[in-house]
Amino acid sequence: MTISRRQVIALSGSTLAGLSLGVVRPESLHAAAAQGQDDWPDRLVERPLRDGFPAPLPLNADGSAPEHPESAAGPISDPLMWRTQGRQTPEIEFDYRQMQIKVDTRGLARLAGTLRFSDLEQLPRVSHTFLLQCGAPNPRGIVKWTGVRFSDFADMLGLVQGVHYCRFVASDRFYADEPLTTLRHPQVMLAWMMNDEPIPGRHGAPLRLIIPFRYGNRSVKAITEMTFSTPGPRMPPLPA
């Protein structure tokens, strides 16, 4: 018996497992797949919106993030958003002093290769305390971040004027593309310290992007690659 790809998508994992074990009969499988297709409307219909999503970001009038006093800094709440089975933190080198991050400037900058902490040490160090806000109505916490301004890092690379985007790839292969106009905002950071301690592995060691005026998922954790391009680069390969 064969079923279409559309039918497979419509079935649950438990149903497919039952088929492989001989517990689910083929005719039941077809009926379940057909039922899944029938449930999808054949026209545009009104659907209820997610309750409380997206949560409003408390920003200043100019669109920047409000600064908080260092005394307000504290932990980040769970759950953590890792794109892995069980949302487990991928095992990589967490020590920021040992970081080795691929920086591909594609001939659009003076420097390219492997970023090490010794490179960031040459830049002015900054600290800011910001709210980390999820898109859902669940503030993650107020955090003091320490690192360098992304604009200083970009200048160190010697990027040409025509670069539009940087793609950040995390250890779990999550990625985000950000325009250089956003990344050069003075509040955007590459951080390796959180509340005056090295960022823990579960919160994005060894290096994390901080964009405090965007939702928290844009502050990419555990950066492993940065690719500069114009226009946007191709998607990264799927994990093995």
Distance CA 197, CA 146 (A): 9
R_g (Cα) of the chain, nearest Å:
22
Q: pLDDT value at position 233?
A: 60
Quote the CA–CA distance of 115 and 103 in Å, as a whole number. Answer: 6
Angle CA(51)–CA(54)–CA(59) in degrees, nearest 5?
140
- Residuewise pLDDT in 10s, the chain (240 residues): 554 544 544 444 444 444 444 544 555 555 545 555 568 999 999 999 888 888 888 899 999 999 999 999 999 887 778 888 888 899 999 999 999 999 999 999 999 999 999 999 999 999 999 999 876 656 678 999 999 999 999 999 999 988 999 999 999 999 999 999 999 999 999 999 999 999 999 999 999 999 999 998 899 999 999 999 987 566 777 776
Q: What is residue 2's predicted lDDT score, i.e. its pLDDT?
A: 53
Give the pLDDT confidence score for residue 157 in this predicted structure. Answer: 98
Check residue 181 and give its pLDDT.
Answer: 95
The confidence score (pLDDT) of residue 19 equals 46
C-alpha to C-alpha distance for 233 and 106, rounded to whole angstroms? 10
Best CA proximity match to 157, nearest among 188, 194, 112 = 112
Q: Give the pLDDT score at 17.
A: 46
Predicted pLDDT at 179: 96
| Residue 15: predicted pLDDT | 46
For CA atoms 121, 91, 198, 127, the dihedral sign is positive
Domains (range + CATH), the chain: 5-38 (no CATH), 70-229 (3.90.420.10)
Count Cβ atoms below 10 Å from residue 72 Cβ, excluding itself: 12
Position 218 scores a pLDDT of 92
Global confidence as pTM: 0.78
- CA pair distance 235, 147, nearest whole angstrom: 28
* pLDDT value at residue 53: 81
